[in-house]
Chain A
């Protein structure tokens, strides 16, 4: 299985990938993780390729061989679309990160509705309000754990819920375990409550 994780620096893409990979390894499954985290501490593109089971060969997912995308940001989801098989599931945190380059007109952040439409043209999209659910659980830092909950509930992953929770527990400070589990559950609930017919509300043009 080929999973792509995408976001911007600060989203926790690298950590999330590690959590899934460690859970997979604990279950005795072969894994490979390829990461690109460029220069920017914050706001730069970050992507990781997670290959589980018989696909765990080289560290890179070939074009359109991806079975799933966990995207922490809409534009970054779009950037990795070419790695996905047609119909592959995309779990998207629909909170855009619009950089100052867009505000300055050096680049133009696309309309989020348009991004969602383009993704839906080829993929099975589930969008989640992960940022706000994380805040509800206690802190925006746990956005990635909300996403992990949604991913787990989607049943696409060949890794058990318990293994994921154990891997999260091993990675976070003791005092934060409970809050992280709550974030995970909110993510699961978001998947169950998600309705395919959800209509994208047009956003104001934030980039200008």
Chain B
């Protein structure tokens, strides 16, 4: 969408923007000079969008190799006096914590904003952690927008707050902000500063204990100051509702209150209006530190207050503590009373259930019998690797090798597209914990005394992100493990972002191709081989050999992402090779499906039951290798031609 996007629209214009785009625009309006990120759903395209416009606007945008590096680059820029932003999904905040908890002690010289995308519904995440705890832990303020306009405006404001307090500031968003679209009225763009300079101040930036200890007091003072600033925050708003009609604060009398944080406010507003409730509502944008005077006076006038928030009971805990501290008697209800759920995202129906319980009314339209009957027919769709995905070939080979070896074996997995290979029928990896865990966990399995072969699979992006120290550890500690690096030379899962193996950076400039094999060798691994993912015979043989080798070995299974192959073919106006089935030869045994489960497989009863190949086949040829009756071929290619040779025709 380059050139068509709303990111560079003119001030005053009202455009449709995703929450991620709105955050990106807010940063441009703040005149951000350096932006960094590691791709992670749902936050990926905040920085991706900025990368497209960075060369023209003259600021720096990068995909860093991991989140820890990304925050350090951003903090270095903020130390040097220019505004910096780092974006991450919630799990990445675990990685930035090391730097963050010290950067709050040093403070920053220019605005440092951390955009964190929490995923309470776990659309694409291994857990559902609430990153507001990191704000509390590190003592960094947390802002939460309620919609796209606020996402943009608060992103810009976050830099101002950061500079006012000289602290990094979190902007917490969720998929319902990131991937939703809203009309957003644009403000003026600000020219980014490019004259950063790091001015030395060892008592501030050299955080050895002698210099760090005295600064703790300062941090406490900053938190107190932040509370007072948050009392005045323009997005913290109190409104009164009477019978569902909105009034300015104090125009009508209410004894029941609701504190709605971030994007829960529109849900609350809708429920209150539809049910015609009477309540005083505090729309809370500053979830840490709490605006204590604002909340204290809000509670003081009420008998009962419901806390509505997504994630853990972060606000609820603080409000309870504040009420106790200020001797306020209002009853506080929320997650602790199980009136609101502890897990999953909120929606109007869930908020409606909670408020309905209090007021004895019903918001949720019940599903009547015909709807319930219809629901019974619904079937889940089991996710699969894309058609033509090289990971499928790699898993197929690993499975074959383990089967042929007959010694069992475990495959410690990592985090990436290849997670789809955990589903049936491939079931190719046995764990998925966090970025980089595969190699070290395989070492742990080996050191447990297990007699089975211990394998690990990890993608190239994940290997650069967090696999290198684990592999070095395996060399140093002599783990007998076999590591497969699935190398498609791109960060595919989040939508093809560049990484050190891609040969270009986020801003489209050439970058050195990292030689993965040399990196692995340099770590001290003696057995390293690069094999085309679709050369399954070679891959099977190599896995069988390497599990016997006493020491760590690495097999780099390399082939470009199928979607990249398709895109390149389309660009060059070349036709996609498609497999065809010889209906006479196909017996309908489904061996191909059972072995590799490709989504391009279809089924037909006409004229007899047989396997079909659907139009989105891209001719990787893996299924040809599985058919016991040679019923599958790719026209125009020689008999027995495999995906690897077909793929070779496609340049990177």
A166 within 8 A of B: no
Q: Shortest Cβ distance from A28 into chain B, in angstroms?
A: 9
Cβ-defined contact, A122 with B603, below 8 A: no
Out of A18, A59, A98, A106, which one reaches B382, CB within 8 Å?
A106
A21 within 8 A of B: yes
Q: List 29 A-B contacts (CB under 8 A).
A: A10-B616, A18-B16, A21-B181, A32-B182, A33-B180, A33-B182, A34-B179, A35-B179, A35-B180, A39-B383, A39-B493, A44-B383, A45-B381, A58-B263, A59-B182, A60-B267, A62-B270, A64-B365, A64-B367, A75-B378, A75-B379, A78-B378, A79-B378, A82-B371, A86-B368, A98-B603, A99-B382, A101-B424, A103-B601
CA–CA, A122 and B201, complex, Å: 71
Other 10 A-B pairs with CB < 8 A, given A100-B593, A114-B377: A25-B16, A33-B182, A57-B269, A57-B270, A62-B349, A64-B366, A75-B378, A104-B597, A121-B370, A121-B373
B133 within 8 A of A: no
Interface residues of B in 554-597 (CB under 8 A from A): 563, 590, 593-594, 597
Q: Shortest Cβ distance from B59 into chain A, in angstroms?
A: 27
Cβ-defined contact, B123 with A43, below 8 A: no
CA–CA, A43 and B183, complex, Å: 30
A-side contacts of B124, CB under 8 Å: 38-39
Out of B386, B493, B604, B605, which one reaches A42, CB within 8 Å?
B386
Cβ-defined contact, A207 with B123, below 8 A: no
A-side contacts of B347, CB under 8 Å: 58, 60, 62
Cβ-defined contact, A99 with B384, below 8 A: yes
CA–CA, A107 and B371, complex, Å: 21
Cβ-defined contact, A122 with B179, below 8 A: no
Cβ-defined contact, A121 with B374, below 8 A: yes
A-side contacts of B175, CB under 8 Å: 36
Interface residues of B in 236-295 (CB under 8 A from A): 263, 266-267, 269-270
Out of A42, A60, A115, which one reaches B377, CB within 8 Å?
A115
Question: What is A's interface to B at a CB cutoff of 8 Å?
Answer: 8, 10, 18, 21-22, 25, 30-45, 57-60, 62-65, 75, 78-79, 81-82, 85-86, 98-104, 106-110, 114-115, 118-119, 121-122, 140, 170-171, 204-208
A-side contacts of B590, CB under 8 Å: 103-104
Indicate with 1 or 0, residue by residue over B5-49, a CB within 8 angstroms of chain A CB atoms: 000000000111000000000000000000000000000000000
CA–CA, A81 and B384, complex, Å: 25
Cβ-defined contact, A58 with B267, below 8 A: yes
Q: Shortest Cβ distance from A11 into chain B, in angstroms?
A: 12
A-side contacts of B183, CB under 8 Å: 25, 30-31
Which of A8, A58, A101 has the most B CB atoms < 10 Å from its CB?
A58
CA–CA, A103 and B594, complex, Å: 9
* Smallest CB-CB A-B distances: 5 pairs: A64-B365, A58-B266, A33-B181, A101-B382, A118-B374
Out of A21, A30, A45, A103, which one reaches B593, CB within 8 Å?
A103
Cβ-defined contact, A110 with B379, below 8 A: yes
Q: Shortest Cβ distance from B101 into chain A, in angstroms?
A: 32
A-side contacts of B380, CB under 8 Å: 107
Taking A58-B263, A103-B603 as contacts, is the C-beta distance between A82 and B375 under 8 angstroms?
A: yes
Q: Shortest Cβ distance from A181 into chain B, in angstroms?
A: 19
B-side contacts of A109, CB under 8 Å: 379
Cβ-defined contact, A78 with B383, below 8 A: no
Question: What is B's interface to A at a CB cutoff of 8 Å?
Answer: 4, 14-16, 123-124, 147, 175-176, 179-183, 263, 266-267, 269-270, 347-349, 352, 363-368, 370-371, 373-375, 377-384, 386-387, 420, 424-425, 493, 563, 590, 593-594, 597-599, 601-606, 615-616
B-side contacts of A100, CB under 8 Å: 384, 593, 597-599, 601
| CB nearest neighbor in A for B352 | A62
Out of A21, A32, A38, which one reaches B383, CB within 8 Å?
A38
Cβ-defined contact, A57 with B420, below 8 A: no
CA–CA, A109 and B603, complex, Å: 12
Cβ-defined contact, A43 with B180, below 8 A: no
Out of A8, A104, A118, which one reaches B373, CB within 8 Å?
A118
Cβ-defined contact, B179 with A36, below 8 A: yes
Cβ-defined contact, B367 with A118, below 8 A: no
CA–CA, A36 and B270, complex, Å: 21
Cβ-defined contact, B594 with A98, below 8 A: no
CA–CA, A117 and B552, complex, Å: 59
A-side contacts of B370, CB under 8 Å: 118, 121-122
Q: Shortest Cβ distance from A34 into chain B, in angstroms?
A: 5
Which of A35, A44, A99, A109 has the most B CB atoms < 10 Å from its CB?
A99
Cβ-defined contact, B381 with A107, below 8 A: yes
Cβ-defined contact, B374 with A60, below 8 A: no
Cβ-defined contact, B603 with A59, below 8 A: no
CA–CA, A207 and B590, complex, Å: 12
CA–CA, A81 and B369, complex, Å: 13
Out of A31, A63, A140, which one reaches B16, CB within 8 Å?
A31
Cβ-defined contact, B378 with A37, below 8 A: no
B-side contacts of A208, CB under 8 Å: 603
Taking A99-B599, A103-B601 as contacts, is the C-beta distance between A81 and B371 under 8 angstroms?
A: yes
B-side contacts of A18, CB under 8 Å: 16, 181
Cβ-defined contact, A122 with B383, below 8 A: no
Cβ-defined contact, B123 with A36, below 8 A: yes
Cβ-defined contact, A58 with B123, below 8 A: no
A-side contacts of B147, CB under 8 Å: 32
| CB nearest neighbor in B for A120 | B370
Cβ-defined contact, A63 with B367, below 8 A: yes
CA–CA, A103 and B614, complex, Å: 13
B-side contacts of A42, CB under 8 Å: 386-387, 599, 616
CA–CA, A165 and B182, complex, Å: 21
A-side contacts of B379, CB under 8 Å: 75, 102, 107-110
Out of A21, A82, A170, which one reaches B367, CB within 8 Å?
A82
Taking A39-B420, A121-B374 as contacts, is the C-beta distance between A62 and B364 under 8 angstroms?
A: yes
CA–CA, A58 and B89, complex, Å: 22
CA–CA, A86 and B493, complex, Å: 39
A-side contacts of B606, CB under 8 Å: 204
| CB nearest neighbor in B for A55 | B270
CA–CA, A98 and B182, complex, Å: 33
| CB nearest neighbor in A for B493 | A39
CA–CA, A81 and B378, complex, Å: 10
Cβ-defined contact, B599 with A43, below 8 A: yes
Cβ-defined contact, B605 with A206, below 8 A: yes
Which of B364, B379, B601 has the most A CB atoms < 10 Å from its CB?
B379
A-side contacts of B604, CB under 8 Å: 206
Q: Shortest Cβ distance from A36 into chain B, in angstroms?
A: 7
Which of A10, A22, A39 has the most B CB atoms < 10 Å from its CB?
A39
CA–CA, A102 and B599, complex, Å: 10
Cβ-defined contact, A98 with B602, below 8 A: yes
Out of B367, B371, B386, B594, which one reaches A104, CB within 8 Å?
B594
Out of B179, B382, B493, which one reaches A37, CB within 8 Å?
B179
CA–CA, A45 and B287, complex, Å: 33
Out of A39, A58, A103, A121, which one reaches B270, CB within 8 Å?
A58
| CB nearest neighbor in A for B367 | A82
CA–CA, A35 and B147, complex, Å: 14
Cβ-defined contact, A63 with B563, below 8 A: no
A-side contacts of B363, CB under 8 Å: 62
B-side contacts of A82, CB under 8 Å: 367, 371, 374-375
CA–CA, A8 and B4, complex, Å: 25
Cβ-defined contact, A104 with B603, below 8 A: no
Cβ-defined contact, A32 with B181, below 8 A: yes
| CB nearest neighbor in A for B273 | A57
Which of A36, A63, A122 has the most B CB atoms < 10 Å from its CB?
A63
B-side contacts of A43, CB under 8 Å: 381, 384, 599
